[in-house]
Amino acid sequence: MTQSVLGSITMGYEPLWNQWRKRIGVRLWLDPESSSAVDARHLIESLQELWPAPKEICLLHARSPGLLSDLLDHTTAHNIWLEVPQLWLSDALLAGRVRKAHQRGVKLVWLGEPGQHPEPETASWFHTHILSLTAQEALASLRAALRHGHDGGSHGPQHIPSPVRAGALYEALASQALVEHALDQQHVQGVAGWPNEEMLYAYRYRQIQPARQILLDLVHAIEADESLEALEHTMGNEPLLCYRFLRYANSAGLGLRNEVSSLRQGLMTLGYSRLRAWLMEQLPHASADTNLDPIRHTMVLRARIMEHMADAGVEDDLRREVFLCGVFSQVDLLLGENLGAALHRLPLPGRVASAVVGQTGPYAPWLEVAAALEGRNTKVIREVCRAHQMPADEVNRALLRALAQS
């Protein structure tokens, strides 16, 4: 039953980030196949089975009123929230289901157009709102943020009120200034999506460094004599550190006889003492910019999804290749240089370079599908999966398991 229900729907995802730039949940775009109905009860059971997420928000955005109606009738889990578009509330039958779901304790999230807010007669049904700003509101928010910075956060005579409402969720915040204003000054509950390009633009004249916290986590793991698997997993959470580690492991200064083409091989070859010394050398220059954390996280999540899409029979070494393929597929954004040139410096298997640079080879389908899942366009996701003959249930299962792992 789990397989059939996951095969009747197309999923995409969008992380939700809080003030500390940590993932507090994921927004799932759910688009049913036009030729089949979705068993909402079993869909909920599948979500809880594959991605229990007891401490995360599982925010479901149904692409059809029919699916939303069924989800309203069958959702009981406290961590599963349902989005309800304002436009659909004009349907009296659906509005009645929304009201009854609210009375049962289901957490409902109102969704409207930019600048729109819930109607007073229905506002009490909703646990929170997903809001977005008009161009005029975005400008007013930037002015409020600028004045807040000048005033040091005080509400003086020149205080400018902000259109951004505390406690709500916001989407489509397209600039670093707006995100920081919403999260740090207005204390919204979270933001959907992340303006990666804008965040990275701030580093156009300086080099991005590996995350300080992950370096410290690795040092502490070595001191605690944790397993190679634990070290490999932790290092895998920092794409830039993975890249630098492989470059270091293959540097002429180490004089190793054989090329190192995987994190596991490098960790085994260097040993804990030499690895710790190298990590300590990186610490003084490490980055504490938490605005980069969501960017790193989504890069790693792509790689984890690819791992889970790989066939169960794939050997561990090949699975590590698949992970490196995903985690290095966007490393040029952190390096600030051409992707092909960057990967050419590493002795990576040809399958990895072919997929990342040439979009060919055995790993290319997994990479293309994993990248498509990051968007809201479920039609494109469906077309990419069909083009590569990847069943929806396998893709959705991989996505949910990767979310649970990360």
Residue bearing the bigger pLDDT, 154 or 391: 391
Q: Mean pLDDT across the stretch 23-50?
A: 91
Query: 29: pLDDT confidence band, cut at 50, 70 and 90?
Result: very high
Residue 287 C-beta-side C-alpha neighbours within 13 Å: 17
Query: 38: pLDDT confidence band, cut at 50, 70 and 90?
Result: confident
Residue bearing the bigger pLDDT, 37 or 189: 189
Q: Return the SS3 of 353.
A: helix
Q: Mean pLDDT across the stretch 302-306?
A: 97
| Whole-number pLDDT of residue 132 | 97
Residue bearing the bigger pLDDT, 217 or 257: 217
Percent share of the chain, pLDDT over 90? 87
Query: 304: pLDDT confidence band, cut at 50, 70 and 90?
Result: very high
Query: 257: pLDDT confidence band, cut at 50, 70 and 90?
Result: confident
| Whole-number pLDDT of residue 35 | 61
Q: Mean pLDDT across the stretch 30-48?
A: 88
Q: What is the pLDDT of residues 159-182, one digit of tens each?
A: 689 999 999 999 999 999 999 999
| Whole-number pLDDT of residue 253 | 82
Domain coordinates in residue numbering, the chain: 2-131, 135-193, 212-285, 290-405
Is residue 156's pLDDT more than 60?
no
Give the whole-angstrom CA distance, residue 172 versus residue 130: 10
Is residue 199's pLDDT more than 60?
yes
| Whole-number pLDDT of residue 367 | 97
Return all residues near 253 (Cβ < 8 A) that are at least 6 apart: none
| Whole-number pLDDT of residue 54 | 84
Q: What is the pLDDT of residues 357-403, one digit of tens each?
A: 999 999 999 999 999 999 899 999 999 999 999 999 999 999 999 99
How far, in whole angstroms, is CA 271 from its chain's centroid? 32
Mean pLDDT of the chain: 93
Q: Return the SS3 of 192.
A: strand
Q: What is the DSSP letter of 52?
A: -
Query: 33: pLDDT confidence band, cut at 50, 70 and 90?
Result: confident
Q: Mean pLDDT across the stretch 293-301?
A: 98
Is residue 155's pLDDT more than 60?
no
Cross-strand bridge partners of residue 29: 12, 61
| Whole-number pLDDT of residue 254 | 84
Q: Mean pLDDT across the stretch 250-271?
A: 89
Is residue 154's pLDDT more than 60?
no
How does 354-368 read in b/e, with b if 16+ C-beta sit within 10 Å?
Answer: bbbbeeebebbbbbb
| Whole-number pLDDT of residue 151 | 66
| Whole-number pLDDT of residue 315 | 81
Give the whole-angstrom CA distance, residue 403 versus residue 15: 10
CA angle 399, 171, 23 (to 5 degrees): 45
Q: Which of 2-16, 175-189, 223-237, 351-365 has the least mean pLDDT?
A: 2-16
Query: 34: pLDDT confidence band, cut at 50, 70 and 90?
Result: confident
